[in-house]
Amino acid sequence: MTPETERALRESSKRHPFWICSVVFLLLACYFSMGLANLVEQRKQLTNASVQQEQNLNSLDQAKQLETRLEALSVELLQIAKTNATAKQIVQDFNIQWNPAALPAPSTAEGSKK
Q: Count of domains in the chain? A: 1
Q: What is the four-CA torsion angle of 8, 14, 19, 20, rounded to 10 degrees?
A: 90
> Is residue 113 assigned to a domain?
no
Print burial letters for 70-90: b (CB count within 10 Å at least 16), e (below 16).
eeeeeeebbeebeeeeebeee
> Is residue 84 assigned to a domain?
yes
Write out the chain's pLDDT in tens, 114 residues: 678 887 777 776 666 678 788 889 999 999 999 999 999 999 999 999 999 998 899 889 999 999 999 888 888 988 898 898 888 888 888 888 887 765 555 555 444 444
Q: Whole domain around residue 53: which residue ranges?
A: 22-99
> Is residue 107 assigned to a domain?
no
> Is residue 30 assigned to a domain?
yes
